[in-house]
């Protein structure tokens, strides 16, 4: 009876395990789709010109703003709606909760405008007129003059002053030079909103951050992330490949070699902040401080290499991802049949020729697999970068037109740290959340593009090797 029960259980398991595997794959794809959908909706939706409302309360007060979300109050007390009202210089806050029971009327006047300005953030209200070069414009001519002026480069914009009115009738005067973007979303057609959405997405990708990272773009962070990952890959790939070749092809396979392999695999599980501390102590203070004392003593106490920078960040992440490249490459070398090596040596090839012409070309896909894993991990690391070179705002790019063009000693911006800083260290976290989603989506896309590039190269070398065979 027991034997029959065991056999029936095995047959049932044999029928169920394909379905369990398929369910696991489906669940993984579902979670990935949910994540990407959340980032797409919350991130890209931020750049769509949202409708502005003019809300009249029972008390007679009028509030203008963008409706964000609703929430229910406890104990059946009704619900509230959150509005982004802007005008922080007038009311002292950008946000306001309004009880739905207090709302008497909601309208969407076409005259409402939204202006991005410095230093007080967004203004939501009406454009009364413009005092420009001794001429006073009102109504539609004033709006046309404003949009034409904002289309010009900042250095070519005319001087002028905007006359603005808030919902409660207060009049503000705002210099034209302080306005970076203006929209009248209630008066825009769907096509105009689509065009404005595309322009704002491009500005997000091509401009620098403003207003404590709650507005503007992330171009310096994109550039810094890509440059750091490229430098890290250039550094880690040859060292990882050479170490794997030594362990698998040259070193005697004894107890010491096995201990080295165990150590390398354990290093892959060390927390990243430990590598950051190592990079700070060895690269920044040790090597960098020595370089400063040898070559830049006349410019001290302002450190040149003895502080965090692009070079030390790249070296730290190269050290962090080195075990991944070693393990992946060594596994690829181990899968190559010994007959390939023996045949090459039997035909008169030296050991070096056998490695360079037979073994390494066959192991290229495994090397690229290691690089793919290294890039995926390095692009998202933040903790070690906080110690060895990343900055909240880097005024100078690591690459410019001055010799030597690539400045490895400079600090840089990184999308991962920018994401962390915007989400937790901004003055207005609520306003920064859409940019957090947009930055997270961008970081995912950059990692995806880098990985797809490496995957394409891996398949290319596989096809080339297959054609040669």
Q: What is the pLDDT of residues 342-352, one digit of tens each?
A: 888 888 888 88
Of 202, 226, 287, the closest CA to residue 412 belongs to: 226
Confidence of residue 65 (pLDDT cuts 50, 70, 90): very high
Same domain, 396 and 439: yes
Q: What is the pLDDT of residues 189-203, one digit of tens each?
A: 999 999 999 999 998
Same domain, 329 and 310: yes
pLDDT at 84: 93
Token pair for residue 119? Answer: 């230093």
Same domain, 334 and 364: yes
Number of domains comprising the chain: 3
Identify whether 183 is part of a domain. Answer: yes
Identify whether 93 is part of a domain. Answer: yes
Confidence of residue 151 (pLDDT cuts 50, 70, 90): confident
pLDDT at 300: 64
Mean of the pLDDT values across residues 201-223? Answer: 83
Pick the last residue of a domain from 194, 211, 246. Answer: 194
The Cα 408–Cα 287 span in angstroms is: 14
Of 156, 155, 166, 160, the closest CA to residue 137 belongs to: 160
Element (H, E) at 93: none
Q: What is the pLDDT of residues 420-452, one digit of tens each?
A: 888 777 677 787 888 889 989 998 888 888 778
Same domain, 99 and 125: no
Q: What is the pLDDT of residues 243-265, one digit of tens each?
A: 999 998 888 888 888 898 889 88
Least confident stretch, 3-12, 206-215, 219-228? 3-12
Strand partners, 97: 82
pLDDT at 227: 92
Judged against a pLDDT cut of 70, whether residue 387 lies above it is answered with yes
Give 460 or 193, the one with higher predicted confidence. Answer: 193
Pick the last residue of a domain from 107, 125, 140. Answer: 107
Grouping H, G, I as helix, E, B as strand and the rest as coil, residue 104 is strand
Give me the numbers of helices (H) and strands (E) for the chain, helices first please: 15, 13
Cis peptide before 301 (omega within 30 of 0): yes
DSSP of 359-370: IHHHHHHHHHHH
pLDDT, the chain, mean: 86
| Cβ neighbours of residue 372 closer than 8 Å, sequence gap 6 or more | 451, 454, 455, 458
pLDDT at 449: 84
pLDDT at 18: 82
Same domain, 127 and 270: no
**Axis-axis angle for helices 2-39, 429-468 (nearest 10):** 120
Judged against a pLDDT cut of 80, whether residue 108 lies above it is answered with yes
Question: Going along 59-102, which residue ranges are E strands?
Answer: 62-72, 79-84, 95-99
pTM of the model: 0.84
Contact 176, 157 (CB under 8 A): yes
In a 13 Å sphere around the CA of 180, the CA atoms on its Cβ side amount to 19
Q: What is the pLDDT of residues 217-234, one digit of tens each?
A: 889 999 999 899 999 999
Domain residues for 75? 53-107
Grouping H, G, I as helix, E, B as strand and the rest as coil, residue 113 is strand
pLDDT at 211: 67
Token pair for residue 130? Answer: 């413009």
Of 170, 72, 64, 148, the closest CA to residue 110 belongs to: 64
| Cβ neighbours of residue 271 closer than 8 Å, sequence gap 6 or more | 383
Q: What is the CATH number of the domain that holds 354?
A: 1.10.3720.10
């Amino acid at each position: 009876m027991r034997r029959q029960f065991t056999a029936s259980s095995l047959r049932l398991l044999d029928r169920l395990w394909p379905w369990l595997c398929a369910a696991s794959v489906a669940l993984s794809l579902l979670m990935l789709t949910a994540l990407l959908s959340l980032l797409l909706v919350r991130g890209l939706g931020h750049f769509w010109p949202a409708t502005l409302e003019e809300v009249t309360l029972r008390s007679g007060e009028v509030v203008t703003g963008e409706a964000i979300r609703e929430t229910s109050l406890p104990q059946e007390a009704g619900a509230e709606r959150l509005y982004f009202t802007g005008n922080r210089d007038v009311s002292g806050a950008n946000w306001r909760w309004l009880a739905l029971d207090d709302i008497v009327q909601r309208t969407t006047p076409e005259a409402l405008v939204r202006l991005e300005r410095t230093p007080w953030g967004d203004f939501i209200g009406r454009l009364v007129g413009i005092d420009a070069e001794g001429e006073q414009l009102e109504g539609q001519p004033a709006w046309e003059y404003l949009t034409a002026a904002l289309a010009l480069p900042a250095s070519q914009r005319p001087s002028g002053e905007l006359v603005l009115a808030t919902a409660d009738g207060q009049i503000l005067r705002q210099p034209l030079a302080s306005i970076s973007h203006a929209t009248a979303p209630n008066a825009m057609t769907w096509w105009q909103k689509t065009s404005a959405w595309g322009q704002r997405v491009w500005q997000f990708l091509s401009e620098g951050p403003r207003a404590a990272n709650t507005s503007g773009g992330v171009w310096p962070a994109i550039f810094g992330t890509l440059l750091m990952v490229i430098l890290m890959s250039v550094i880690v790939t040859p060292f990882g490949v050479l170490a794997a070749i030594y362990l698998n092809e040259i070193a005697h396979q004894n107890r010491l070699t096995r201990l080295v392999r165990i150590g390398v695999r354990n290093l892959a599980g060390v927390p990243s902040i430990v590598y950051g501390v190592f990079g700070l102590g060895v690269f920044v203070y040790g090597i960098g401080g020595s370089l400063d004392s040898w070559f830049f003593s006349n410019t001290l106490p302002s450190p040149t290499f003895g502080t965090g920078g692009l070079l030390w960040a790249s070296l730290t992440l190269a050290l962090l991802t080195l075990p991944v490249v070693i393990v992946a490459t060594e596994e690829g070398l181990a899968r190559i049949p010994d007959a390939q090596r023996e045949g090459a040596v039997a035909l008169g090839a030296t050991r070096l020729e056998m490695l360079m012409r037979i073994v390494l070309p066959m192991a290229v896909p495994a090397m690229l697999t290691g690089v793919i894993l290294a890039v995926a991990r390095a692009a998202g690391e933040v903790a070690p970068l906080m110690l060895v070179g990343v900055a909240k705002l880097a005024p100078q790019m690591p690459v410019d037109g001055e010799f030597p063009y690539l400045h490895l000693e400079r600090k840089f911006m990184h999308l991962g740290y920018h994401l962390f800083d915007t989400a937790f260290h901004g003055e207005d976290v609520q306003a920064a959340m859409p940019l957090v989603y947009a930055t997270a989506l961008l970081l995912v896309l950059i990692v995806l593009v880098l990985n797809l590039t490496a995957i394409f190269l891996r398949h290319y070398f596989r096809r080339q090797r297959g054609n040669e065979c």
